[in-house]
Structure 1
């Protein structure tokens, strides 16, 4: 549903900005809802505390595009919520989106997929993964502010391991929503509840159920053997990063690599960059099939080869058992930006 409709929501949000984005002057503060609607951005009539406000915050065209993409993700999520019964949309998904507009690339990520730019051998991260570990403090803050979401079954605090009944009254390391480090606290009865965020790495889970913290859908997802909904802890809003293509002269070997977690689980940024160099160097710069070959090489490299003990990488580690999807977008040379 997201793959068929999300880009339409983004297009509709951007359509409203066409005239504003083509105007080099700062965006207007207000737009009339209908032609002829009266209104004024003149703050001279304000009195009281409002008179201390600045006349207008600085808003850039770039921030309007970012806001349009963020709105589109929210509208997509709301549509999934509204239509989940009639269309049997029960699950959820991550989303990684690239928008090229007016010389800039906008990369929006909600989930654990990731994107990097490989430019002349240099690696430029264009997104980050959203997991229970990377968003621990946001999740804990929500659990602290709205304890009813924890249902008396979970604690928003994190401990290095599961607290046992025999440890009541003892002091144990912990951290809460305000802490990046660790401190000691006296273990109390409520600390025996299951932690909101548990596990490490790929095994980290929210409420012992899901391993990603941003994405679309999952409106019906419940904690296993419980009626507690998990959706309040899952954000549909993406993080949007911007790359200005006009600030650098790109060559045909400069690419934007998009990959699902199946790629990044077993392949580092440096290994991806090395594959980019190895594969593209074997093709002529104007051969369009070079980018398809690069995507195939990255997928096959992450999957590994079948051996006696399963699919293995050259270093004999297990290949990725997850979905591996890769897109390659050229940033320079013939056919770029089309």
Structure 2
């Protein structure tokens, strides 16, 4: 690293954990793109991810990919993670990223009750969730039976097994933002009185079973990343855990089940999570679990990602300070990398003036 870029050194230190080694601390955040007709990622999707690997991203987390359940996604062009054609497409993505020297994990996803009745690709499939409630608490369908819940655990485990089989470097389970797994976590959407409900620790039971089932399929040495959030798509101020003690009660079962790295989703990485401390959600998660953590939230931009309006580039000084203080271990970059595949390389080379502001029209193209 050149003399002028010494201040960025923490971002470009190698990362080593017991199951994952990376060239630097940068992560491509998962971002739904919807460029996979019939759920099959093609050559253009493979090239999109490869470009990020070629330009120095430490770890790529794919966009959310639908597990083997008819209501897992909303949209005919959202990639799937089951079926020969889709898995062959993902195998090609892995090959391209590895040839470019990168590492990549799929984000395994089910949208749950955020899906609308009639949504493609399976218009006849009803949305499912722990209690059949929308994020606003409206009853849409019947609660899932225990048998249906167990079948969903199996679907996640099968996806994990397939991820390892086709060469991915780990998996990420999407447990954030009010999607399926998060609907079990959140008291507003989980009113169950069986083993999948109860207090904040009790509501982790479904996720615990998913993590344990995935671990059985992939073995002891394959990284499992778990993404969670406090905020939901319909309520940016929502809290699973209102205090550090509640957060610890929530995290402990997930650690015991086998999570290796937590991906702590916030809208602004600089926001303190609880009063009386400057730590953000990732910082608190690392402090309470001792596990490596990924921080995320409007990195390098001056506008919150949830608006998806335009945003200008901004200083990385606050991010680097927190990273250098070891408040978190890895940094996920979303819109900046969506817009500019060379973002990491430009930052590393001290080319701040060449960084591109985010333009919402970028959502319509695979840069």
Q: TM-score range by the shorter chain?
A: under 0.3
Scaled by the length of structure 1, what TM-score is found?
A: 0.25
Q: Which has the higher strand share?
A: 1
**Which has the greater radius of gyration?**
1
Question: TM-score scaled to structure 2, two decimals?
Answer: 0.24
Higher fraction of helix: 2
